[in-house]
């Protein structure tokens, strides 16, 4: 009995010691925090649905090299994030929770790396605060629960910059080689920017330190060989399979065009990423101002340490670089939040109790926001509920239509209105949903132009012209409420157009053209 009691006591002590380990605490707490309510968050439009639909079609086709959507090759992003999604789907099945699993896991990995790097730069207290700050920053929390490439990119992007600093500090070629490895996986996630921008940040730091010549001594030859071997795993086969089409679309439209032509011109304003930073770092951006006010005089008359300079250069350079790009997305500057979190932690490390109180209150607030705001907002931005409504009418409508027509006319599904929503296709497994247009000329105005880089390259959904519909054709049409009268006016005389329900600002119609 004493032996058994002693064994149990040792096990309990071992578990207690494990629970105090910082990485275990990060994994357990933030795992529960980021995965909370994810099963109630449907896939949303216009971005998340592209990723999950592409990953599912790659799985179904058995082609794990060429991203594809709606049966067309899709060169928007490299394949690494799709591979992660496919792996999660293969292991855990296809569900909304699994689709969000990758970003949650990557966000926890970034926090573990943040703790280790901040511990190396400063102290355990600063490292702990940096994790609390970054892990609950509003923008970081949002991306951790989203189906986006940005968190995977952040892991490799920030890992590259962390390795650069350690390599500079130790003059270590091994750490420089690690930079090339991490940058290679970053390029497999998002493209050349994952190599060029971290290298530019490091070069700016060397210039600030008046050591620009050191950029020549980072082991370029073996580094480029390793980097090239990693990126060639996907870019090589893609070029061999698709040639100039791949280069023109991936490098032309989805890289060069993004940098030079605004996809959303109204967001191309000088203060965009400044405002994004303040919002993304809430509530810690307010804590940052509090810390700056307390230490302003001290900061003005002190010379910053090299690690502080590096973090500042990292945060500022990334933000200014993307501010100079024409196309603006809220998540582009996500990697700048990590150095900002460490710097804020450094500012307020003597206010540990204040930070703990902010952390606890804000964590509870984010959980409440998840249930009260994020869940209903996700349903509003998703086609899940409309797809369920459509699915409930498919068998009945199809059978009734066939009996009336006296022959097996295929039932078509279509969407008419604003931007095409991919989530309809995602939730209607196996049923193509066409983008319904008035005529062939309207379709031609939307389709990509071969050999020309433009934002029309993104319009690869299946199209259907009302003027090309055959006599007796039956359709279920999802229509934006404000476009309803316009849609009815385009139908031929004698067409049956019956309402079949509505979800939010979308209406469902059963349409049967006259014989």
What is the pLDDT tens value at each position of the chain, 515 positions in all?
555 555 445 554 554 454 468 999 999 999 999 999 999 999 999 899 999 999 999 999 999 999 999 988 988 899 999 999 999 999 999 999 999 999 999 999 999 999 999 999 999 999 999 999 999 999 999 999 999 999 999 999 999 999 999 999 999 999 999 999 999 999 999 999 999 999 999 999 999 999 999 999 999 999 999 999 999 999 999 999 998 888 887 877 777 777 777 777 888 888 999 999 999 999 999 999 998 888 787 777 788 899 999 999 999 999 999 999 888 889 999 999 999 999 999 999 999 999 999 999 999 999 999 999 999 999 999 999 999 999 888 754 444 334 343 333 468 999 998 889 999 999 998 788 999 999 999 998 888 877 667 767 788 899 999 999 888 899 999 999 999 999 999 999 889 999 999 998 899 999 999 88
Spatial separation of the C-alpha atoms in residues 189 and 181, rounded to whole Å:
13
Closest CA to 304 of 122, 160, 162, 129: 122
Tokens of 245: 């089409």
Closest CA to 479 of 470, 489, 471, 469: 489
Spatial separation of the C-alpha atoms in residues 108 and 34, rounded to whole Å:
9
ω before 46 within 30° of 0 (cis)?
A: yes
What's the pTM value of the predicted model, to 2 decimals?
0.91
| Pairing of the two strands 506-512 and 474-480 | antiparallel
Closest CA to 89 of 100, 81, 99, 80: 99
Q: 36: which residues sit within 8 A by CB, 6+ positions away?
A: 367, 370
Contact 143, 190 (CB under 8 A): no
DSSP string for residues in 79-137: SHHHHHHHHHHHHH-S-HHHHTHHHHHHHHHHHHHHHHHHHHHS-HHHHHHHHHHHHH-
State the Rg of the chain over Cα. 26
Residue in this structure with the two tokens 């008359």, named with its chain if needed: 301
Spatial separation of the C-alpha atoms in residues 367 and 349, rounded to whole Å:
26
Cβ-in-10-Å burial (0-12, 13-18, 19+) of 484 comes to middle
Spatial separation of the C-alpha atoms in residues 446 and 64, rounded to whole Å:
28
Q: 263: which residues sit within 8 A by CB, 6+ positions away?
A: 326, 327, 455
Assign 3-class secondary structure to 422-466.
Answer: CHHHHHCCCCCEEEEECCHHHHHCCCCCCCCCCHHHHCCCCEEEH
Q: Count CB-CB contacts under 10 A for residue 338.
A: 29
Distances, alpha carbon 117 to alpha carbons 58, 131, 352, in Å: 37, 11, 19
Spatial separation of the C-alpha atoms in residues 230 and 515, rounded to whole Å:
59
Spatial separation of the C-alpha atoms in residues 370 and 389, rounded to whole Å:
25
């Amino acid at each position: 009995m004493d032996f058994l009691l002693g064994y149990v006591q040792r096990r309990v002590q071992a578990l207690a010691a494990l629970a105090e380990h910082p990485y275990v605490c990060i994994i357990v707490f933030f795992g529960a925090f980021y995965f909370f309510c994810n099963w109630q968050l449907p896939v949303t439009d216009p971005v998340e649905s592209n990723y999950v639909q592409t990953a599912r079609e790659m799985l179904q086709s058995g082609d794990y090299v060429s991203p594809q959507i709606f049966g067309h090759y899709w060169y928007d992003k490299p394949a690494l994030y799709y591979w992660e999604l496919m792996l999660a789907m293969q292991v855990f099945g296809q569900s909304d929770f699994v689709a969000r699993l990758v970003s949650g896991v990557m966000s926890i990995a970034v926090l573990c790396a943040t703790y280790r790097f901040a511990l190396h730069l400063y102290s355990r207290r600063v490292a702990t605060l940096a994790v609390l700050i970054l892990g609950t920053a509003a923008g970081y929390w949002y991306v951790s629960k989203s189906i986006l490439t940005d968190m995977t990119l952040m892991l490799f992007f920030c890992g590259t910059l962390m390795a650069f600093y350690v390599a500079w500090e130790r003059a270590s070629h091994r750490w420089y080689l690690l930079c090339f490895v991490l940058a290679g996986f970053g390029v497999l996630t998002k493209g050349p920017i994952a190599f060029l921008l971290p290298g530019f940040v490091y070069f700016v730091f060397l210039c600030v330190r008046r050591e620009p010549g050191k950029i020549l001594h980072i082991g370029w030859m073996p580094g480029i060989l390793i980097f090239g071997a990693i990126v060639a795993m996907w870019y090589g086969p893609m070029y061999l399979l698709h040639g100039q089409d791949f280069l023109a679309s991936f490098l032309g439209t989805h890289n060069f065009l993004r940098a030079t032509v605004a996809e959303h011109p109204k967001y191309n304003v000088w203060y965009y990423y400044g405002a994004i930073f303040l919002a993304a770092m809430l509530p810690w951006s307010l804590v940052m101002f509090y810390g700056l006010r307390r230490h302003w005089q001290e900061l003005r008359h002190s010379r910053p340490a090299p690690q502080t300079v590096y973090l500042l250069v990292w945060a500022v350079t990334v933000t200014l670089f993307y501010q100079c790009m024409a196309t603006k997305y809220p998540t582009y500057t996500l990697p700048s939040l990590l150095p900002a979190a460490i710097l804020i932690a450094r500012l307020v490390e003597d206010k540990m109790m204040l930070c703990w109180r902010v952390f606890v209150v804000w964590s509870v607030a984010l959980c409440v926001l998840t249930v009260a705001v994020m869940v209903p907002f996700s349903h509003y931005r998703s086609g899940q509920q409309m797809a369920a409504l459509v699915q409930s009418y498919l068998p009945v409508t199809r059978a009734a239509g066939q009996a009336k027509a006296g022959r097996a006319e295929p039932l078509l599904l279509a969407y008419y209105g604003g931007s095409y929503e991919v989530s309809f296709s995602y939730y209607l497994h196996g049923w193509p949903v066409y983008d319904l247009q008035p005529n062939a000329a309207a379709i031609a105005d939307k389709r990509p132009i071969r050999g020309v880089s433009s934002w029309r390259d993104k319009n690869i959904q299946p199209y259907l012209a009302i003027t090309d519909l055959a006599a007796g054709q039956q359709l279920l049409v999802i229509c934006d409420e404000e476009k309803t009268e316009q849609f009815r006016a385009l139908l031929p005389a004698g067409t049956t157009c019956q309402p079949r329900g509505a979800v939010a600002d979308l209406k469902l119609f059963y349409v049967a053209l006259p014989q």
